[in-house]
Chains A and B, each alone.
Chain A
Amino acid sequence: MKQKHSKNRAKPYKKPTPARRNERFSKNYSFIQRSKQMEESHRRERMPTAPKQEYEPVAELLPEIQDDVDETEFYKKLITGVNNIPTSDILRSKAEKEEDHVIPVPRKIKPKKEKRSEQLGVDLEIYNSFSKRFDFELSTDNINDLIARKDVKTIKRNWSALGNVRFDIPRLTEDFKEPDCSEPKDIASTEDLQKLEVKASICANAKLPLTALQSQLFYIANNYQDIYYPHRTHGNAEDIRYVYCLHALNHMLKVRSLILRNNEKVSALAKSQKMSPNEISIPESFRDQGLKRMKVVFVVPFRESALRIVNILGDLLFGSQDDQARKTSIANYERFLGDYSGNTIYFPKTNPKPMDYEQTFSGNTDDNFKLGIRFTKKTMSLFSDMNASDMLIASPLGLRMLVTDKESDFDFLNSIELLIIDQAELFLAQNWENLLHSLDHLHLQPQKLPDTNCQRVRTWCLSGASSFYRQTLFFSSHELPEFRAVFNSKCNNYQGKVRDSNLVEHGDIRNVLTPIHQVFRLINCSSVETTFDDRFQYFVKNIMPQFSKPGFSHCMLYVPSYFDYVRIRNHFKTEMVSFVQINEYTKKEKISRARDIFFHSGASVLLYSERAHFFRRTRIKGIRNLIMYQPPNFPHFYSEIINLMLKTNQNPRDGFGDEMSVSILYTKYDLLSLSNIVGSENAAKLTSGQKDSYLFSTKT
């Protein structure tokens, strides 16, 4: 725990400007702007306090939410964005689903008449999806259209496991065909994998049958389209991991077999001309490589995730093995076990943490690592040098340190063809900026001449178009604006994107056990850039005056963003508010002291940061008033915090009655976060309605 403290306390990196940043893709400056606004607001003179307005909540019960909602332009965009289905259409939608089930689904993949060679390792058949993807040459007009996001065809389907699926496919040619977006059948046998052109050596080792979810994800991945799947759970996590490892290894082996085959041909050609391969003219059809060797990058939060990925890759390559057998088939596996296995967090047995906490933090949770993997004909090597690696498994911090190390370059990230981001919500708790910074360093022009034979480099790599040939698979447990932003603005796959667009039906609010009124308060703001100031001003004018009322105490202020946390803390100190604070950098002893003071009425307010809760899941007792400064980024924290307000956690000697309150501040830009809490339908109402407050109640 102390180690983690020291890491978190480390100084933030100064970001060196990339040598040749691709200016067409602007950087996400939200975090920078937020901190700048914080600084400006401190310099700005304090605004005179407006006359206090008394707040009168409108009491409404959950089942009786009114329907009169005025649509605004922003509302329409967001409705389209989240693919919302209005209440009145629910029945119709269900009817349509039933109709879909009745219609028999035609077979999409025709069985091949030719017999397939069954020799392992001698698989010379052309892979259609692979060669179709990488032999296609984007023209300048194509690239301009892709950058401007012009002419994109949107197709919506409903698949059994994925649910609502939205395909966004660029229309690059005049004779654009309607892509086949029908639901694929499950992958049950080796033959099914072979039909999908999976390498024979993998087919022999794959664990079959795949689940419906795995089959559908693999089908999309195998078509080299980007995937956005924000419904990862602890239940399906290993299934998802297996699918993307299967796809990554399959892609890697296809790349390598093509290169090795062409290497033999080039050697024969050179031999016939009695020269070395670097001295002959190599035909254009042998362009099969990028400028750099690395093809696949996994971005995962913990070393435990890397351990599981390596084990899956090894099993797919060599068959199921135990650790002892892996030491012989995987080079440096013994060192790898020493570095990446083990447990770093102690889980108490008395007063246990929530189950999802133990699942998230089991194993080695070191968040600073980078592991290069190199494949040869017969073996798989770990800890290979970056420029000699085929795959990289890294945490956002490890990747960030790779690209900010000034003594070396990040050329090895130029030719990435497959990027896998898993457990993205944990990056939000670690440092989201690390991920954004690293993504901005993909596909930059190399700073040194590459080691690859220049006649073997694909022409789209030479033209700087490799970002359009990069597939991205994005997995998270829920949806947030940050995730959507990465998928929308940093993924430029020319073959399109597939986004799981299921609505949240209920949200976490149904897990609230405490009988209490929950008031959602809308903050008006004109633009997304001013949300921070508008929220702060709303808080200062409308919420803080309540702190001065006699008898006000036991108030927890839950702040998801650390920048907001610092701003509020400084404001509290200026205003002489009686408060204690717990954040992710607070030491253990001070946490205990703060909890004790808060419980025994020594301070009126507890200032609590979301990341502190994420990393510790501390049980705060004595909460009578809860204010959520912003909807939580982790939806299950909503019910968890409110359930801490149960009567059993109150101090009976305080002398207070049953009066308790919960307030959640939000803006219209918090639509996705609200969806996770109150459901997509209710969230749409909360963000588009004319009222400035809504009440949900679990009181009987």
Chain B
Amino acid sequence: MSETSEDEQTQLQTSDEEEDLGSEEEQEDEDNNHKEGDSEAALSGEDDKGSEDDAAEEQKLTWKDLGLNEALCQACDELKWKAPSKIQREAIPVALQGKDVIGLAETGSGKTGAFALPILHALLENPQRYFALVLTPTRELAFQIGEQFEALGSGIGIKCCVVVGGMDMVAQGLQLAKKPHIIIATPGRLVDHLENMKGFNLKAIKYLVMDEADRILNMDFEVELDKILKVLPRERRTFLFSATMTKKVKKLQRASLKDPVKVEVSNKYQTVEQLQQSYLFIPVKYKDVYLVHILNELAGNSFMIFCSTCNNTVKTALMLRALGLAAIPLHGQMSQNKRLAALNKFKAKNRSILISTDVASRGLDIPHVDVVVNFDIPTHSKDYIHRVGRTARAGRSGKAITLVSQYDIELYQRIEHLLGKQLTLYKCEEDEVMALQERVAEAQRTAKLELKDLEDTRGGHKRGGDTHDDSENFTGARKRMKPMGGTGGGGRKSFGKKNWSKGKQKR
């Protein structure tokens, strides 16, 4: 009892020192931990039974058993989807009954199929344009979902349209005007089209999907989401998927779902067993040297290296390239096409080192990564879960290494607390590491020069040229596009006036 009391006092003191946001987050953690404890105590027996039943079901259950249309079962077979995943087994039958679904699931658990297959099933029964709308927080995720719909629906004539920022607005408008069956969109760009494209409306939508809803809300798309929900018909099915349950997500659920069936397959803040997690406690100035050492020691594997800023991403990539390692940066300030190109390079195994900000920690369909390195420790503990979730997926093993500097101790301890366990120390010989010091320093100087050239090319502004409304660094302070009518009117007036005066001058 006395020990418990001491722990509580420590927590309270920590809470007082943090900012409001942190405090709120901490409270959420406490609530979740509390619930988790209860559930563990109450349902431990059932868990055992559940695992046995799951094993049995997993061997028998097929797509057809879930009630899917024959054409869709065939499409799944052609895509070599062997059997439904856990989230799919849970969600698809409920969705086929016509109920709203709220799913708590991680990326990689198959939730895209969990909502795509029921939607396509319903579409085959009642073909209709503008049938389903899928909202996602990032454009990369939107493209990924679009590819899945195309793959599943290519044999049955499905037309999809991906509407995201950073692409040509008029070209997207022309695609939307063709009335595709499925629209996959980021909220900001979709609102632009709803406000500016004459005749475009979503009143016929039958299915709404909000994928990664916690991300949508965290990226301050609340205004856009509210606008979209207002113009959607009330008689619709709604699927909401989220990796975490936050207050905002709960609020959204209450506002937009009717008697949803909750499907929960995520292990709360747990990492899979095949994941080997370790840390390195090192001085901050030797981070680069240790990173190079790790890459050399584990050469032959594919890597994802997470940095905290776009600048760090580029600098680290340039340094690694100077050392002869093939490294690809991926961050929020890159243009949409460059991001996709980087992803395609990494997917094609042309490169085996992807350096990114948290924009790539979740959502993106990146193939299996052998090693995840947290070069900069994440500021949000939950982001650690998403980062290391890039490896050890689908039953495969993986490694996660976190570089902890003298300034990161507190953040690191928070992560360990969230995981409920201590990570092992990554062993390496300091002499071997320091032997690389001179070469790494030289590479750092080269990278610094190249980075300076890049910034000069960009016009002296790091963030000036490539602001997109749904990128990772979006702060929510976005200029809304003016209505087309006003702009058009102004344009017309000046246009007419100019012509008239020109005509006079010429004569």
Give the interface of A toward B (CB within 8 A): 7, 275, 277-282, 284, 291, 339, 366, 368-370, 385-388, 401, 405, 407-408, 445-457, 459, 462-464
CB–CB B494/A452 < 8 A: no
Q: Knowing A445-B174, A454-B176 touch, does A339 contact B201 (C-beta < 8 A)?
A: no
What is the number of contacts between chain A and chain B, taking CB atoms within 8 Å?
Answer: 89
How far, in Å, is B501 (CB) from chain A's closest CB?
12
CB–CB B171/A368 < 8 A: no
Given contacts A277-B199, A454-B197, 17 further A-B contacts (CB under 8 A): A281-B129, A281-B203, A282-B199, A339-B507, A366-B507, A368-B506, A405-B498, A408-B495, A445-B174, A449-B169, A452-B199, A454-B173, A455-B177, A455-B179, A457-B177, A459-B178, A463-B178
CA distance A376 to B176 in the complex (A): 30
Q: Knowing A366-B507, A370-B499 touch, does A451 contact B170 (C-beta < 8 A)?
A: no
Q: Knowing A339-B507, A459-B178 touch, does A449 contact B199 (C-beta < 8 A)?
A: no
Contacts of B174 in A (CB 8 A): 291, 445, 462-464
How far, in Å, is A441 (CB) from chain B's closest CB?
16
CA distance A278 to B196 in the complex (A): 12
- Asked if B300 is at the interface of the complex by the 8 Å CB criterion, the answer is no
Contacts of A291 in B (CB 8 A): 174
Closest to A408 in B: B495
CB–CB B170/A446 < 8 A: yes
CB–CB A453/B198 < 8 A: yes
CB–CB A449/B197 < 8 A: yes
- Asked if B492 is at the interface of the complex by the 8 Å CB criterion, the answer is yes
Closest to A371 in B: B503
CB–CB B200/A451 < 8 A: no
Closest to A383 in B: B500
CB–CB B506/A454 < 8 A: no
CA distance A385 to B494 in the complex (A): 11
Contacts of B201 in A (CB 8 A): 278-281
Secondary structure of the A contact surface, majority rule: loop
Q: Top 6 nearest A-B pairs by Cβ distance?
A: A453-B199, A454-B177, A454-B199, A408-B495, A462-B174, A455-B199
CA distance A278 to B194 in the complex (A): 11
Q: Knowing A282-B199, A339-B507 touch, does A449 contact B173 (C-beta < 8 A)?
A: yes
Of the candidates A369, A386, A459, A464, the one whose C-beta lies within 8 Å of that of B495 is A386
How far, in Å, is A657 (CB) from chain B's closest CB?
52
Closest to B128 in A: A281
How far, in Å, is A341 (CB) from chain B's closest CB?
12
Q: Knowing A369-B503, A405-B498 touch, does A448 contact B198 (C-beta < 8 A)?
A: no
Interface string of B162-183 (1 = CB under 8 A from A): 0000000111011111110000
Give the interface of B toward A (CB within 8 A): 129-130, 169-171, 173-179, 193, 196-201, 203-204, 484, 487-488, 491-492, 494-496, 498-499, 502-503, 506-507
Secondary structure of the B contact surface, majority rule: helix
How far, in Å, is A8 (CB) from chain B's closest CB?
13
Q: Knowing A454-B176, A462-B177 touch, does A449 contact B495 (C-beta < 8 A)?
A: no
CA distance A419 to B86 in the complex (A): 61
CA distance A374 to B367 in the complex (A): 58
CB–CB A451/B484 < 8 A: yes
Contacts of A369 in B (CB 8 A): 503
Closest to A384 in B: B496
Closest to B485 in A: A451
A-B contact pairs, 10 of them (CB 8 A): A279-B201, A280-B201, A281-B203, A339-B503, A366-B507, A405-B498, A407-B495, A445-B174, A448-B487, A454-B177
Contacts of B196 in A (CB 8 A): 449
Contacts of A401 in B (CB 8 A): 502
Closest to B174 in A: A462
CB–CB A281/B204 < 8 A: yes
Q: Knowing A366-B506, A452-B198, A455-B179 touch, does A387 contact B492 (C-beta < 8 A)?
A: yes
Q: Knowing A445-B170, A449-B169, A454-B176 touch, does A407 contact B494 (C-beta < 8 A)?
A: yes
Contacts of A280 in B (CB 8 A): 201, 203
CA distance A456 to B169 in the complex (A): 19
Interface hub of A277, A366, A368, A450 (most chain B Cβ within 10 A) = A450
Contacts of B204 in A (CB 8 A): 281
Contacts of A448 in B (CB 8 A): 170, 484, 487-488
How far, in Å, is A77 (CB) from chain B's closest CB?
40
CA distance A405 to B494 in the complex (A): 12
Contacts of B130 in A (CB 8 A): 281
How far, in Å, is B192 (CB) from chain A's closest CB?
9
How far, in Å, is B199 (CB) from chain A's closest CB?
3
Closest to B495 in A: A408
Contacts of A277 in B (CB 8 A): 199
CA distance A648 to B18 in the complex (A): 109
CB–CB A278/B503 < 8 A: no
How far, in Å, is A464 (CB) from chain B's closest CB?
8
CA distance A368 to B504 in the complex (A): 11
CB–CB A278/B171 < 8 A: no
